[in-house]
């Protein structure tokens, strides 16, 4: 934001957009002042009207005509200032107030000087009005200057007119113009100082708002990063209650997907090429995980780990996990990634797990338990392009998918285990 303005006589900003924003700010923040001043003006002009009726009844008619023209404008100011603030309404209010001040100068000169002759009391009244315009209503300095010149010029014109007719008091020939001139200059400087302070407040408010928006944006980015690491419910718990989080989930399913032949393939590739391949395929896996509403746990080298039924329980965890594994298998078989044909082994197991966050630095949401270990064995002892599941998973999905028994397979640390290959979805017989 270009905030250069101190070198200009009217204090306007060099940047037109900043100047427009300041004028809206000025109009909006001036409403309470205008409301109170308009209410006060009704009482003041009402008092003047009553004084004319009591002490100068011969001027009551012309006074009533002049004041009768001012009252509707002041009432309109009061009404607008009492309504909910909008930029258009505040803009109209500023113009009405300027119009009311112009009318009040003409009325003061017409009543106090021309009809009742110019005297010291009338001069003091005009000087007070000129100063009030500059100090009370918070007009911009350029607006105040125009009002001051209009009011002061009308007064000086009245002096010239009465001097021409020989009706001007001798002591006002020089005192009047001098006092009006000094008042115009002093009032303009007061208005300019007030506007300078208001512009500085505006810039400070803009800076505070910009910093606030920056803080909110940084907070949103931090939230996004946190939610990329942790499930939303776990992130909420950590914000409110930092420490170890461990929850036992009696029913969950775990999937491991590992890139077959990765070691030999990566031997002939640069590090950048390896990262490119893994990023492309794992990004597609992320999309499928989000599609099914599951929880990506982590990637370990070329291995991808997903869980269903954590952190929130779901009765169909095994079915949705096998469905995801089949979609991953079909996706990998249908296309190339970074120009290379890939093949994955998929292993799924179901049962109880412990899920949570441990440690204080670089923590992640992770799973522990025998169910996780067996799922890893299902993958490592499987075949490329095949979804292999345990007997526990097969028992939970048998009605939804066709599973062929592979027989007993020796699993490290577990011994002989029954394993099954998922062929595809089971077709209902009509």
Q: Is 129 contained in some domain?
A: yes
Kindly state whether residue 182 falls inside one of the protein's structural domains: yes
User: What does the pLDDT average to over 409-423?
Assistant: 90
Residues 276 and 145 in one domain: no
Domain that holds residue 155: 16-215
11 is a domain residue: no
Residue 164, number of CB atoms within 10 A of its CB: 9
88 to 19, 78, 100, 101, 371: CA distances (angstroms): 17, 16, 19, 20, 66
Tell me the CA distances in angstroms from 345 to 257, 378, 393, 426, one per residue in order: 6, 9, 17, 22
C-alpha 146: how far from its chain's center?
39
Within this chain, do residues 198 and 288 fall inside the same structural domain, yes or no?
no
Confidence of residue 40 (pLDDT cuts 50, 70, 90): low
Are residues 396 and 249 part of one domain?
yes
pLDDT at position 365: 80
Domain count, the chain: 2
- Residue 280 and residue 191 share a domain: no
Identify the pLDDT of residue 84. Answer: 66
Angle separating helix axes 60-82 and 87-108, nearest 10 degrees = 160
| Alpha helix positions (H), 136-171 | 141-165
| Average pLDDT of span 381-386 | 94
Which of the two residues, 114 and 375, has the higher pLDDT score? 375
Place of tokens 């100082």: 193
Do residues 389 and 257 share a domain?
yes
Residue 285 lies in a domain: yes
Cis peptide upstream of residue 205 (ω within 30 degrees of 0): no
Which of 198, 215, 232 is the C-terminal boundary of a domain?
A: 215
What is the C-alpha to C-alpha distance for residues 153 and 102, in angstroms, rounded to an integer? 12
Contact between 48 and 60 (Cβ < 8 Å): no
Q: Which of 64, 143, 75 is nearest to 111 (CA)?
A: 64
pLDDT band at 192 (very low <50, low <70, confident <90, very high): confident
Closest to 418 measured CA to CA, from 430, 398, 303, 428:
398
Contact 243, 234 (CB under 8 A): no
Pair (270, 369) in one structural domain: yes
> Three-state SS across 180-242?
HHHHHHHHHHHHHHHHHHHHHHHHHHHHHHHHHHHHHHHHHHHHHHHHHHCCHHHHHHHHHCC
Please, which pLDDT band fits residue 334 given cuts at 50, 70 and 90? very high
In a domain, 62, yes or no: yes
282 belongs to a structural domain: yes
pLDDT category at 133 given cuts 50, 70, 90 is low
| pLDDT surpasses 90 at 193 | no
Classify residue 225: in a domain, yes or no: no
DSSP secondary structure of 56-67: -GGGHHHHHHHH
167 and 24 in one domain? yes
Give the count of beta carbons closer than 10 Å to the beta carbon of residue 4: 11
Name the domain boundary from 165, 199, 215: 215
Q: Would you place residue 1 in the very low, low, confident or very high pLDDT band (cuts 50, 70, 90)?
A: very low
CATH of the domain at 358: 3.30.70.1230
CA–CA distances in Å: residue 207 to residues 15, 26, 213, 232, 394: 16, 16, 10, 33, 62
Looking at the structure, tell me whether residues 210 and 324 fall in a common domain. no
One domain for residues 208 and 273: no
Please indicate, yes or no, whether residues 254 and 179 belong to a single structural domain of this protein. Answer: no
> Based on the domain organization, do 136 and 66 belong to the same domain?
yes
State the Cα–Cα distance between residues 108 and 88, nearest whole angstrom: 30
Rounded to whole angstroms, the Cα distance separating 102 from 236 reads 61
Residues in contact with 230: Cβ distance below 8 Å, sequence separation at least 6, in sequence order: 238, 357, 364, 365
Give the CB-side neighbour count of residue 153, counting CA atoms within 13 A.
Answer: 7
pLDDT digits (tens, 9 = 90+) for 89-118: 656 656 666 566 565 655 555 555 444 444
The predicted pLDDT at position 329 comes to: 96
Within-domain flag for 430: no
- Answer yes or no: are the C-beta atoms of 344 and 257 closer than 8 Å: yes
CB atoms within 10 A of CB 319: 18
pLDDT in tens, 277-323: 999 999 999 999 999 999 999 999 899 999 999 988 999 999 999 99
Does residue 373 share a domain with residue 259?
Answer: yes
- Ranked by mean pLDDT, which of 64-68, 88-92, 321-325 comes out on top? 321-325
């Amino acid at each position: 934001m270009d905030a250069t303005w101190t070198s200009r006589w009217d204090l306007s900003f060099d940047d037109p957009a900043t100047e427009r924003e300041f004028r809206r700010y000025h109009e909006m923040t001036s409403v309470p002042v205008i409301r109170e001043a308009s209410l006060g003006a009704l009482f003041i002009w009402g008092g003047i009207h009553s004084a004319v009726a009591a002490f100068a009844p011969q001027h009551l008619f012309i006074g009533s005509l002049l004041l009768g023209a001012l009252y509707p404008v002041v009432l309109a100011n009061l009404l607008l200032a009492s309504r909910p603030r909008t930029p258009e309404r505040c803009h109209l209010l500023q113009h009405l107030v300027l119009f009311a001040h112009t009318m009040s100068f003409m009325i003061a000169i017409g009543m106090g000087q021309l009809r009742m002759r110019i005297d010291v009391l009338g001069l003091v009244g005009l000087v007070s009005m000129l100063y009030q315009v500059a100090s009370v209503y918070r007009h911009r300095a350029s607006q105040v200057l125009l009002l001051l010149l209009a009011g002061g010029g009308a007064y000086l014109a009245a002096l010239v007119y009465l001097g021409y007719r020989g009706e001007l008091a001798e002591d006002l020939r020089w005192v009047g113009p001098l006092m009006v001139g000094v008042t115009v200059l002093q009032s303009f400087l007061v208005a300019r100082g007030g506007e300078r302070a208001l512009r500085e407040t505006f810039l400070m408010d803009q800076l505070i708002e910009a910093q606030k928006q920056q803080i909110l944006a940084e907070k949103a980015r931090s939230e996004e990063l946190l939610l990329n690491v942790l499930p939303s419910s776990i992130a909420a718990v950590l914000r409110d209650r930092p420490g170890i989080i461990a929850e036992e989930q009696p029913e969950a399913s775990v999937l491991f997907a590992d890139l077959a032949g990765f070691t030999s393939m990566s031997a002939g590739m640069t590090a950048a090429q390896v990262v490119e391949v893994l990023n492309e395929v794992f990004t597609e896996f992320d999309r499928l995980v989000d599609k099914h509403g599951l929880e990506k746990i982590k990637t370990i080298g070329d291995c991808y780990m997903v869980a269903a039924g954590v952190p929130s329980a779901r009765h169909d965890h095994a079915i949705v996990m096998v469905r995801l594994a089949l979609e991953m298998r079909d996706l990998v078989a249908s296309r190339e990634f970074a120009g290379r044909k890939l093949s994955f082994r998929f292993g799924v197991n179901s049962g109880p797990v412990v899920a949570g966050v441990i440690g204080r630095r670089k923590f992640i949401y992770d799973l522990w338990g025998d169910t996780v270990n067996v799922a890893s064995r299902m993958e490592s002892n499987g075949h490329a392009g095949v979804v292999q599941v345990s007997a526990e998973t097969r028992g939970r999905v048998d009605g939804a998918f066709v599973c062929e028994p592979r027989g007993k397979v020796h699993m490290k640390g577990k011994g002989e285990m029954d394993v099954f290959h998922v062929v595809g979805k089971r077709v209902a017989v009509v």
